[in-house]
Amino acid sequence: MSTLKVNSIIPVAGVPTGGGGGIIQVKQTVKTSFQSLATKDTVTDVTSVAITPKSSTSKIFIMVSGERSDSNGNTFGMFFISRVLSGTTTDLALGDSRGSSIRCSMSATKIASGSTTVTESFGINFLDSPSTTSECTYKLRMVNAHDSTMCVGGTFADDDDNRTSVPTIITVMEVSA
């Protein structure tokens, strides 16, 4: 048996402008537990995954998915995709500053007054350029901006078999440049 080892794989037509040549590695965290946040205006980690790029020119493709709910059907919250590199946390994929709005990666606002049995799906894809070969940790973080309890991982209510528990997933892929 023989082994083929290469430093890079380049498509026959060449590497597309602004694109990558292929997936080098994939890392994933699947969080199956339910998490709630009752404290207002506090940033809390939901889940994370670490990856060490093989090349400083590589890009990291981040995919996050899950479901959120709340304690009273009326929550104003935000999600952030963040990169931790050498102890420094950088929020990624933020909207522009505008008035008093909060810049975030995804809105977690839900208005369905009185409903603790409804979830809303969330998801984001983002291509990051960390420019390093040091370990990067990518995190999903949440902020509750209201007086109710914000939750991830299923419905707030769990009193019958019409309620749900769902995973929160974060996947990262190193893409060659």
- Per residue in 57-92, pLDDT tens? 999 999 999 988 887 766 678 899 999 999 999 999
- Per residue in 28-65, pLDDT tens? 999 999 999 888 888 899 999 999 999 999 999 999 99
Please name which of 144, 55, 134 lies closest in space to residue 88, comparing C-alpha atoms: 134
Q: What is the CA radius of gyration of the chain?
A: 19
Spatial distance between the Cα atoms of 73 and 113, rounded to a whole number of angstroms: 5
Spatial distance between the Cα atoms of 31 and 167, rounded to a whole number of angstroms: 5
